Amino acid sequence: MWTVLIVASIALASAEPVTFHGDKVFRAVPQNDEHVELIKSLASYTKLDFWLPDSELLLEVGKAADFRAGYDVAYDIQALFVQNNLPYEIMIDDLQVAMERQLNNNIRSGHSYEKYNELETIYAWSANIAAQNPDLVSRSQIGTSFEGRPIYLLKVGKPGANKNAVFIDCGFHAREWVSPAFCQWFVKEAVNSYGSDAEFTNLLDNLDFYVLPVLNVDGYKYSWTSDRMWRKTRSVNQNTFCTGTDPNRNFAANWGTNGATSSPCSEVYCGTIPESESETRALGDFIRSNLSSIKAYLTVHSYSQMLLFPYSYKHAPAKDYDELMSLAEGAVNALSSLYGTVYTYGPGGKTIYLSSGGSDDWAYDTGIKYSFTFELRDTGKYGFVLPESEIKETCEETMLAVKYISNHVLNNA
Ligand SMILES: [Zn+2]
């Protein structure tokens, strides 16, 4: 029995990456409950990969649903939608082609801020940037992933006593590749701006920034080697062949309720207990032990161009709603000022949908008032396969929002 399992897992581990030839990404907008049920029933008998919302559980009348379907079922789905007057469009006609086109930077080897870097490249980059800027950047390991990989954190700022801190993490969901790209960009900007840009220098003199470039290191690695569309962690679940937990359903924020499931095969599986994952536990432990200094928590995802704040697990407003709303508005205005990118903003539960176990809600309830989730570019033209040629603009505009929030923290926390 064990031999069979071991042989099977070795075969899986050495398998060629999943390909997506002919796979289509649909955007359907259910107009009534029957339409919602139609999409849910489709999802129950064929593999639909939900891009937005995160799962068929979160479908709502009038709200767009983006999902990937295999080429073998795509035409049947179109026929069914036409037959039922369900409005839809095809956002991506061939995902394999879009995936190959997203790697459109000519530089392919080594590290670049304008390409998607593999995990080992990000590891090496984080060691180098700390070594080259010892007065501004230091690297520590805050934990180890399920598969044994280090989870590194960079502390960015001029050493000083009693400094408040802003915590920024990237790479919760493996396939959201532009997210780790932003964390790398942020550190580069800090290093390049210190001493030359008055605003950023002031921020670095008076605040520390904890930057976690990739939280879900196993998932990120897997999204490069095996399945570009992987989302969850890579932990092994009991009594099932389905792997992984959704790290952003795995925190103690009304855990295991709205918009999450206890089914390990779901993309929004909440895990066995809050912080069941090595990765979320490492993050939770670090923040709990530095709670006196961390005044802001920013978690970076993609896609949909949104800036969200608590709560996502309930409709009731957070007690700091007014301040968070005006801060979000200011941050989004700053972001949009550069390239006109349109963002929506507000509390997660009202702005998108109710979901529980998110790290932003957990951080807020733990005592970090300025808690935000960024959903970076785009709004679905490319979705998770945003071309590398958009990394620069995405990061530049996001920097403006992060700096806006950081200035507010500096002046108010
Ligand atoms: Zn995400």
CATH number of 119-412: 3.40.630.10
Half-sphere exposure of 149 (CA within 13 A, CB side): 20
359 phi/psi in degrees, rounded to 5 = -70, -30
pLDDT of 100 > 50? The answer is yes
CATH number of 17-101: 3.30.70.340
| Centroid of ligand 1 to alpha carbon of 176 (angstroms) | 6
- Proportion of the chain above pLDDT 70, given as a percent: 96
Round to whole Å and give the CA distance between 261 and 400. 36
Summarize pLDDT for 309-338 with one digit per residue, the tens.
Answer: 999 999 999 999 999 999 999 999 999 999
The 10 Å CB-count burial string (b at 16+, else e) for 221-230 is bbbbebbbbb
pLDDT of 11 > 90? The answer is no
Once rounded to an integer, what is the mean pLDDT over residues 2-16? 52
pLDDT value of position 14: 53
- Proportion of the chain above pLDDT 90, given as a percent: 93
pLDDT value of position 47: 86
Round to whole Å and give the CA distance between 267 and 245. 7
pLDDT value of position 211: 99
Q: Would you list the DSSP string of 77-106?
A: HHHHHHHTT--EEEEES-HHHHHHHH---S
| Centroid of ligand 1 to alpha carbon of 301 (angstroms) | 4
pLDDT value of position 13: 53
8-22, 99-113, 115-129, 348-362 — which is least confidently predicted? 8-22
Asked whether this chain's domains 17-101 and 119-412 adopt the same fold, the reply is: no
Once rounded to an integer, what is the mean pLDDT over residues 350-376? 97
Helix, strand, coil proportions of the chain in percent (round to 5)?
40, 20, 40
Label residue 45 by pLDDT band (50, 70, 90): confident
pLDDT of 353 > 60? The answer is yes
| Centroid of ligand 1 to alpha carbon of 205 (angstroms) | 31
Residue 47, amino acid: K
pLDDT of 6 > 60? The answer is no
Residue 358, amino acid: G
Summarize pLDDT for 147-156 with one digit per residue, the tens.
Answer: 999 999 999 9
Q: Where are the domains of the chain?
A: 17-101, 119-412
> Does pTM top 0.75 for this prediction?
yes
Active site residues: 375
Round to whole Å and give the CA distance between 159 and 218. 32
pLDDT of 2 > 90? The answer is no
Residue 75 in tokens: 């035409």
| Centroid of ligand 1 to alpha carbon of 365 (angstroms) | 20
Nearest Cα residue to 172 out of 376, 18, 400? 376
Nearest Cα residue to 158 out of 209, 211, 205, 210? 205
Bridge partners (DSSP) listed for residue 151: 143
